[in-house]
Amino acid sequence: MTTILTRRPVPGRIGNGDGEGSVQVQMDPTVSLGTAKVFAVYGKGGIGKSTTSSNLSVAFSKLGKRVLQIGCDPKHDSTFTLTKRLVPTVIDILETVNFHSEELRTEDFVFEGYNGVMCVEAGGPPAGTGCGGYVVGQTVKLLKEHHLLDDTDVVIFDVLGDVVCGGFAAPLQHAERALIVTANDFDSIFAMNRIVAAIHAKAKNYNVRLGGVIANRSAGTDQIDRFNNVVGLNTLARFPDLDAIRRSRLKKATLFEMEPSPELEAVQNEYLRLAATLWAGTDPLAPKPMKDRDIFDLLGFD
């Protein structure tokens, strides 16, 4: 598979297919993730995407689904609550064989985590060099070559930060639904609007659509609701700001492994409900991103 950084024209149209002035990482259109349901999780940096992704992966696995979680961050910390360690990245492993992927075995880059969730850390190029989209492409290529997607029901891409370039928007080319993790505050909703814009651009040429919003670390959702009502989104699940969630990261554990309590059981049930909802299928949403000034004026208290 060849990953190309290019301006992509759309047949019959003048301009750039993924947005005016865009320079996008394109994947080989013959490479797909098969019949699996594929979700890409985005959100502001530090909002809890990896915590959300890992616990959602476990929830899917507890529903009897075969799950693969792919971390798309050079920090390679998406899956450590599942595997109990920082596993080597695809790029790390490829470097050991001088990028001859045919020399790799499945166990070199795929690691089994809690409750059978399979884990891959794509990693990324060194800071200030390369393109994250290339790394995602190489990871998907390896998974296909080793037939690891043939028996997978659910794939979750956990993607760093908000979308700032075509490279880190690359998982959207594979996903069926994008999910946005946000809190009930200005900064994360402002970042959510940028993600909506990226998905709006990708949806012109790919099958990805927004599935909805996951409210995290939020006692209320009034600001999220205000934004959703304007752009055309809805909230799929809400998770409170429990100290058990913070402690689970320190214990390198998912929430399903923590000491039980009524509050924690409610969170676990919300993850199970969210997984069941996503598996059943969500309506494709087509929200329209707001202008920066408009969202600045929208949010806040009167």
Q: From the annotation, which residues make up the binding site?
A: 46-51, 75, 131, 165, 216-217, 240-242
Residues 6+ apart with CB under 8 A from 21: none
Which residues participate in the annotated binding site for Mg(2+)? 50
Catalytic residue (one of 37, 49, 65, 144): 49
State the binding site for ATP: 46-51, 75, 216-217, 240-242
Task: Specify whether the CB–CB gap between 212 and 233 falls below 8 A.
Answer: yes
| Six-digit token string for 7 | 């301006």
State the CB neighbour count (10 A cutoff) for residue 12.
Answer: 5
Q: Is 283 one of the annotated active-site residues of the chain?
A: no
**49 flagged as catalytic:** yes
Nearest Cα to 90, choosing from 38, 135, 27, 39? 135
Q: Is 153 a catalytic residue?
A: no
Indicate which residue of 75, 222, 292, 297 is catalytic.
75
How far is it, in rounded angstroms, from Cα 26 to Cα 32?
13
Residue 67 sits at φ, ψ, to 5 deg, of -120, 140
Pick out the residues of the known binding site for [4Fe-4S] cluster: 131, 165
Q: Which of 37, 44, 65, 141 is catalytic?
A: 44
Would you call 77 a catalytic residue per the annotation?
Answer: no
Burial class of 224 by CB neighbour count within 10 A (0 to 12, 13 to 18, 19+) = buried
Asked if residue 182 lies in contact with residue 213, where contact means CB atoms within 8 angstroms, the answer is: yes
Tokens standing for residue 64: 């009897």
- How many Cβ atoms sit within 10 Å of the Cβ of residue 157? 29
**Mind telling me the catalytic residues?**
44, 49, 75, 162
